[in-house]
Amino acid sequence: MSFVRRTAFSLAFYLFCLSLAWTQNSILGFTPTSVARETEIEKKFKAIPSPDEEKRQHRIFTSEPHVAGSKRNNELANYIADEWRKQGLEDVIIRRYDVYGSNPKSASLEMVAPVRYQATLREAPLDADPDSKNPQISGAWSGMSISGDVTAPVVYAHSGNPEDYAVLRQHGIDVKGRIVLVRYSNPYSYRGFKALTAQREGAAAILIYSDPAEDGYKKGKVVPDGPWGPEYHIQRGAITYDFMVPGDPQTPGWPSVPGAKRIPIEQAMSAPKIMALPLSWHDAKPLLENMDGPLAPENWQGGLPIQYHVGGERVRVHLKIEMENSIQPYYVVEGRIRGSELPDEWIVMGNHRDAWVFGGVDPSSGTASMMEMTRALGKLAKEGMRPRRTLVVCSWDGEEVGLTGSTEWGEQFADELRKKAVAYLNVDSSTSGPDFHGQAVASLAPMLVETTRSLEDPSGKSLYEAWKASSIREKREAKQTIEVSDANLADTRIGSGSDHTVFLNFVGMPVIGLQFDGPYGVYHSGYDDFYWMNHFGDPGYRYHTLMSQLWGVTALRLANAELEPFDFASYADNVRQFVDELVKGKDMSELDLKAVRDGITEFAASGKRLSNSINRKLASGAVDPKLTEIINHGMMQVERNWLNPDGIPGRPWFKHILYGARFTYAHLELPGLTETVEKQDWATAKQQAEFLQRALANNATLLDRLSARLDKKNVDSLK
Ligand SMILES: [Zn+2]
């Protein structure tokens, strides 16, 4: 072996070892040297949250009902603030918003014909579960129902979606002036959409019941013997039309700080104009079994041992609802751990505090995980391991009413967030079982997948392996043939229905949402409590603990990275899929999307170039803080550039052009473009396409500028 060849060999070997070390110990966004420090911090962090503490916190939050606006929920705001101060969080403050509140005074439902039946509208206490005997448990009510007193015939309208009313019309049944009885559909569709549909159809009121086929005995054992909903369970919930504009209905687009301008409630787009009441199947059954009219279609038949008819004449009920509507204070608790190097770059995290009753899963599992996460973060900061960027943590109020607290806070700080915020990490319910579901805006999906590799699932596998296994199982059960890969493990289709909405759709921040799921039939009922969690959801609190770890590690990576781990090539791939899905099966002869497709190709290429430049820069180990600040702020701008200041057609509050939500809360990609194409409003669709094309071009140019900046420095540093 000649000298030259030997040198070449050893150099190659050295580079090989270096690359091995790089792949084994790399973290997206970190230099090889900073990876070691980050790994050390994460190790210390992960060791702090404990199942016993998770359980202790969970018990505090689930000991009493704490609906938005209640004394107990406000006491819990003070409790969180006090705990956070003890834990070492800084700038802890309780922010007050004066919002339109609707609380129940009384509700009654009586069948007056053909036989008399007085609905109980209550959930039966269970000996096995002492909390179920708490006198503070509310009866049946729907948030934002209007008050009224009506006696009318009842029509069964299946899930209460527009196509169900079309079926009724085919049977010659008009629901005008009648009361519709619908069931919570499976898969879930937001009850507010059912209410709006009934209102548009001219119904006098809507009753929404839980059919055992969806979340009761047809699924498996019911409480207290299993996780599914028992005979008397009632799914409460708001019917606010927050898919049009979330938050306080009287302050659409601006914060409800005390003294803020308010529009009359009659003019509020998101305020329902219909009476609504949820029912257990115990109370719905007497109505259903007395109905006349045609036999309901096969797929309308439910889990009760009766034949479902559509009704319309024979069954008459007297419904009376009295609501108390007034302006009431909601409280958002905010705390932070100030960044040691970049205090004006923020990672924002949040969970809602308000629950329909005890909130065993929704949201107190998430609140317990948050309290253990903040304890661990506070402990690290006290020990000198302060994050480089600032971590802002919030306990939202009134999420259940209309995503209210987070919306008002997001509207209040929108300008500051657009300057400073890197991302928002949401945890609503943290745990109802062992199956992980991670959502992320496509640019952050790869970093989320990578993060799960460093966490251990209670099964003994890595969280990444467990996630992949449950994802494969779920796809098989849903008879989907898509192969599960790292590129599609995280769910990049983000609808509404939780507190991420204002940050993604109004402020223009990338968002991540984390949750563990399992069989769960007591959503928004009094049985969603401490007993349920300890017997079915997460006995042992291991998934609560894992959530605290995962949420914190994700935040720490975003807070400590040298160059933020955004992957814009992945974003471009997703946007291409969104367009493919939009045009699938549609006659698109009226709209040419070639320029949009070219724009995506360019954005993808620019994203790839930037990733290469970033990887070279990080591998070189030499990072100039001034330069990284420029690059990071440039990358933060990408999400803001997807905002259309005019919003999507008909919904000006929703400004994001890639992400939106259907009225059912279901995800809706390219919302403005998709909705106008569906309506065949080609002139508006063309404008939407042009806006998208410009945003793609702007972002491609922006990324190219950042690459050039990085490469110039790379070249300079070689001199
Ligand atoms: Zn929730």
In the reported structure, the alpha carbon of residue 273 is separated from the centroid of ligand 1 by a whole-number distance in angstroms of 24
CA distance 282 to 233: 8
In the reported structure, the alpha carbon of residue 127 is separated from the centroid of ligand 1 by a whole-number distance in angstroms of 27
**pLDDT higher than threshold 80 for residue 50:** yes
In the reported structure, the alpha carbon of residue 120 is separated from the centroid of ligand 1 by a whole-number distance in angstroms of 26
In the reported structure, the alpha carbon of residue 189 is separated from the centroid of ligand 1 by a whole-number distance in angstroms of 15
In the reported structure, the alpha carbon of residue 545 is separated from the centroid of ligand 1 by a whole-number distance in angstroms of 19
The model's confidence at residue 714, banded by pLDDT at 50, 70 and 90, is: low
CA distance 221 to 598: 54
Let me know: does 238 contact 401? Beta carbons within 8 Å: yes
- What is the distance between the terminal CA atoms of the chain, rounded to a whole angstrom? 33
CA distance 69 to 329: 7
Bridge partners of 513? 426, 439
Q: For 286-321, what is each residue's pLDDT tens digit? A: 999 999 999 999 999 999 999 999 998 999 999 999
pLDDT of residue 186: 57
In the reported structure, the alpha carbon of residue 130 is separated from the centroid of ligand 1 by a whole-number distance in angstroms of 23
Q: For 215-236, what is each residue's pLDDT tens digit? A: 999 999 999 999 999 999 999 9
Average pLDDT across the chain, whole number: 94
Number of helices followed by number of strands (H, E) in the chain: 23, 16
Q: Exposed, middle or buried: residue 1 (CB in 10 Å: 0-12, 13-18, 19+)? A: exposed
pLDDT of residue 17: 45
Q: For 288, what's the count of Cα atoms within 13 Å in the CB-facing half-sphere? A: 28
In the reported structure, the alpha carbon of residue 500 is separated from the centroid of ligand 1 by a whole-number distance in angstroms of 11
In the reported structure, the alpha carbon of residue 628 is separated from the centroid of ligand 1 by a whole-number distance in angstroms of 37
- Residue 462, both tokens: 């890595």
pLDDT of residue 288: 98
Pick from 608, 609, 628, 626: which is nearest to 618 by CA?
Answer: 628
In the reported structure, the alpha carbon of residue 277 is separated from the centroid of ligand 1 by a whole-number distance in angstroms of 20
In the reported structure, the alpha carbon of residue 92 is separated from the centroid of ligand 1 by a whole-number distance in angstroms of 23
In the reported structure, the alpha carbon of residue 235 is separated from the centroid of ligand 1 by a whole-number distance in angstroms of 13
Q: For 123-177, what is each residue's pLDDT tens digit? A: 999 999 999 999 999 999 999 999 999 999 999 999 999 999 999 999 999 999 9
pLDDT of residue 590: 95
pLDDT of residue 482: 82
In the reported structure, the alpha carbon of residue 246 is separated from the centroid of ligand 1 by a whole-number distance in angstroms of 15
In the reported structure, the alpha carbon of residue 36 is separated from the centroid of ligand 1 by a whole-number distance in angstroms of 37
pLDDT of residue 20: 44
- The DSSP symbol for 96 reads E
In the reported structure, the alpha carbon of residue 329 is separated from the centroid of ligand 1 by a whole-number distance in angstroms of 19
In the reported structure, the alpha carbon of residue 498 is separated from the centroid of ligand 1 by a whole-number distance in angstroms of 7
In the reported structure, the alpha carbon of residue 190 is separated from the centroid of ligand 1 by a whole-number distance in angstroms of 13
Q: For 643-660, what is each residue's pLDDT tens digit? A: 999 999 999 999 999 999
In the reported structure, the alpha carbon of residue 428 is separated from the centroid of ligand 1 by a whole-number distance in angstroms of 5
The model's confidence at residue 713, banded by pLDDT at 50, 70 and 90, is: low
pLDDT of residue 256: 98
CA distance 372 to 376: 6
In the reported structure, the alpha carbon of residue 483 is separated from the centroid of ligand 1 by a whole-number distance in angstroms of 31
The model's confidence at residue 9, banded by pLDDT at 50, 70 and 90, is: very low
In the reported structure, the alpha carbon of residue 609 is separated from the centroid of ligand 1 by a whole-number distance in angstroms of 40
In the reported structure, the alpha carbon of residue 362 is separated from the centroid of ligand 1 by a whole-number distance in angstroms of 5
In the reported structure, the alpha carbon of residue 363 is separated from the centroid of ligand 1 by a whole-number distance in angstroms of 5
43 Cβ contact list (under 8 Å, min separation 6): none
Beta strand residue intervals within 42-89, DSSP E = none
Over pLDDT 70: what percentage of the chain? 95
In the reported structure, the alpha carbon of residue 1 is separated from the centroid of ligand 1 by a whole-number distance in angstroms of 68
pLDDT of residue 481: 82
In the reported structure, the alpha carbon of residue 400 is separated from the centroid of ligand 1 by a whole-number distance in angstroms of 6
CA distance 107 to 145: 11
In the reported structure, the alpha carbon of residue 364 is separated from the centroid of ligand 1 by a whole-number distance in angstroms of 9
**pLDDT higher than threshold 50 for residue 19:** no
Q: For 322-373, what is each residue's pLDDT tens digit? A: 999 999 999 999 999 999 999 999 999 999 999 999 999 999 999 999 999 9
In the reported structure, the alpha carbon of residue 205 is separated from the centroid of ligand 1 by a whole-number distance in angstroms of 26
Give the max Cα distance, the chain. 103
In the reported structure, the alpha carbon of residue 399 is separated from the centroid of ligand 1 by a whole-number distance in angstroms of 7
pLDDT of residue 188: 65
The model's confidence at residue 568, banded by pLDDT at 50, 70 and 90, is: very high
Q: For 671-709, what is each residue's pLDDT tens digit? A: 999 999 999 999 999 999 999 999 999 999 999 999 999
The model's confidence at residue 719, banded by pLDDT at 50, 70 and 90, is: very low
CA distance 91 to 202: 50
Q: Which residue has the higher pLDDT, 618 or 312?
A: 618
In the reported structure, the alpha carbon of residue 351 is separated from the centroid of ligand 1 by a whole-number distance in angstroms of 8
In the reported structure, the alpha carbon of residue 81 is separated from the centroid of ligand 1 by a whole-number distance in angstroms of 20
In the reported structure, the alpha carbon of residue 688 is separated from the centroid of ligand 1 by a whole-number distance in angstroms of 33
In the reported structure, the alpha carbon of residue 385 is separated from the centroid of ligand 1 by a whole-number distance in angstroms of 32
Alpha helices in 171-229 (DSSP H): 191-200, 212-215
In the reported structure, the alpha carbon of residue 238 is separated from the centroid of ligand 1 by a whole-number distance in angstroms of 12
Q: For 115-137, what is each residue's pLDDT tens digit? A: 999 999 999 999 999 999 999 99
In the reported structure, the alpha carbon of residue 662 is separated from the centroid of ligand 1 by a whole-number distance in angstroms of 18
In the reported structure, the alpha carbon of residue 394 is separated from the centroid of ligand 1 by a whole-number distance in angstroms of 14
In the reported structure, the alpha carbon of residue 626 is separated from the centroid of ligand 1 by a whole-number distance in angstroms of 40
pLDDT of residue 1: 36
In the reported structure, the alpha carbon of residue 213 is separated from the centroid of ligand 1 by a whole-number distance in angstroms of 23
In the reported structure, the alpha carbon of residue 333 is separated from the centroid of ligand 1 by a whole-number distance in angstroms of 17
- pTM (predicted TM-score): 0.95
In the reported structure, the alpha carbon of residue 288 is separated from the centroid of ligand 1 by a whole-number distance in angstroms of 30
In the reported structure, the alpha carbon of residue 27 is separated from the centroid of ligand 1 by a whole-number distance in angstroms of 32
